[in-house]
Structure 1
């Protein structure tokens, strides 16, 4: 641990994080490879410094096959002006740049899942070095963190903005205030089933206001989900007091994820037939999908049942599933006033 504290990050920024105005540059990570002995990974970054105020750290492509965040953030970086900003905005549209370039969830270099690699290592793999830089350099600068996600190539979601239930109720309430301001069609009190090593956890343990999204999926972005991302981004920055303007209020339906029964997993592999679509109401114990064995004909499908009643908020995207794959996620509709009152999950 002492070595990690003393070893400097190999990543250097070509931008000055305190220089007034708009600065475009790169986070340069040396990466020696077959076609470039002294090569580098050049991750685009924009820093906008206006009048004194809070810092917002905005990230996309934590997983490289999720595109609404990069669309919204590359767009913001190309249009924002420093006179619109109170404080500072740090924009990293594709934080896992190798994965983004390959269109894959994990890095093509080391197969690292950046969102399970925190706190990282300055002397580790490429993915661990990126995580370490965010952990020790970028996150400490931030007051507010927005990390865009969607379903990538393996999941499809109702488009929602979310935050987590936290021990610090003031921090939790501030996070949910920004979820509300984002104005996605759905807003979620999100439960993680695999929170170890997450960027979310790293930010929240530092006391940062952390907001995330799941905006569609299938390894693409639609016009609809891109509009949600761009509008929600501006709404959140305005509500946080970082950007000038008025919040474009949009109705949102709140969903709660009370426990692990929200998640349904396949115990068999094969061809999946869904019996309910995103947004459909489902009942505990009722069929939500069937999985057909595909090694031969004449075998009956295996029925997958909902583990709780609620609304289908996510589903497996490819038509073939493997044992252990998440088939569906079910949320419970709650009133806005209830969303911040439900006890810890």
Structure 2
């Protein structure tokens, strides 16, 4: 009974905009947060809502992790330039859904160390991060038909720039998701395998039957002109393909990759200084050395070799030069001829 009461408790977050109001409206999601420097303070998450006639609702989010920047760049840009007459339906724009982490430039929240993308379904009476997750779970996701959640590698990973969706039990939902991956037209498109899917925003959306698309666009805790351009162009392409924006898409060639199983991932069992022996996009063969880790406590010790566990393409790598035991150091994708059906 107590758990049921917790689930049904109202969210403490309130929106300063009307989600049904016509036109372009800018405001905030306001979460009361009492702290040392503001007894009656709030976490203010920027928000834009655009309504214009009949059409789908598309929920656009960035900075689910606060050190990933291509999504916020594309979404702050869209929010500043979008016109109601270009929209058919409703577009909800939240450039930095984990705003505390975004302001701190950290993957997790500086308030409670919460990883928003592992906090769903959240709790209305939980930590700040859990309250944000709960609001998305119970208020925003039910409004949406399509969800695009931007990611990149943050400070600890670097990726080939790709757009992705998941293999799903509902094949119609899966097909619609991969149609939008194709429309996004990143240089690479991926059939995604998650190695840590518990509590994810992705899963929350997909379990509600939403069409969910995500990205990994570069990394290293920054955005390049190229990756920001991919995000901006892909965002517009997806909105047009989803039926939420008027205009002509700007399609570009894409190469599809599959992540069929856990052999795609290589993990460090030793800490130290990592040297990569192949670069992103390079072909690799099973058992090929892709990196080596030098012990750093003393000289004269041999490096530990990290080998590919399958044939494929180097699609992601650890970013900083020092690694710890357990870190994911490389991801190998398998090239496929066309998108999965």
**Cα separation, 2, equivalents of 1:331 and 1:191:** 10
Q: By how many angstroms is 1:273 displaced?
A: 0.4
Structure 1 partner of 2:236: 234
Deviations 1:65-104 (A, max 9, x none): 0000000000000000111111100000000000000000
Aligned residue in 1 for 2:291: 289
Show structure 1 runs of 5+ residues with no match.
none
Q: Which position in structure 2 is the counterpart of 1:117?
A: 119
2:69 maps to what in 1?
A: 67
Aligned-partner Cα distance in 1 for 2:153–2:108: 13
The 4+ residue runs of structure 1 with deviation greater than 2 A are none
Secondary structure of the structure 1 residue equivalent to 2:173:
helix
Alignment partner of 1:87 out of 86, 89, 99: 89
- Look up the match of 2:199: 197
- Cα distance in 1 for partners of 2:292, 2:60 equals 39
Q: Secondary structure of 1:166's partner?
A: coil
Unaligned segments of structure 2, at least 5 residues: none
**Structure 2 counterpart of 1:302:** 304
Q: What's the TM-score, normalizing by structure 2?
A: 0.99
Instruction: Select which of 152, 156, 159 maps to 1:157.
Output: 159
What is the CA-CA distance between 1:139 and the residue it aligns to?
0.2
SS at match of 2:46: strand
* Aligned with 1:315 (options 305, 314, 317): 317
Distance in 2 between the 1:38 and 1:224 partners?
Answer: 42
Aligned to 2:336: 334
RMSD of aligned residue pairs (Cα, Å): 0.6
Distance, in Å, in 1 between the alignment partners of 2:268 and 2:229 is: 33
Show the counterpart of 1:18: 20
Q: Deviations over 1:216-275 (max 9, x none)?
A: 000000000000000000000000110000111110000000101000000000000000
The question of whether the paired residues in 1 share the 8 Å contact of 2:7 and 2:124 is answered with no
Answer whether contact 2:180 2:213 (CA < 8 A) is retained. yes
Alignment of 1:79-228 (within 5 A): 79-228=81-230
3-state DSSP of counterpart to 1:52: coil
* Equivalent position SS for 1:161: strand
Query: Match of 1:267, SS?
Result: coil
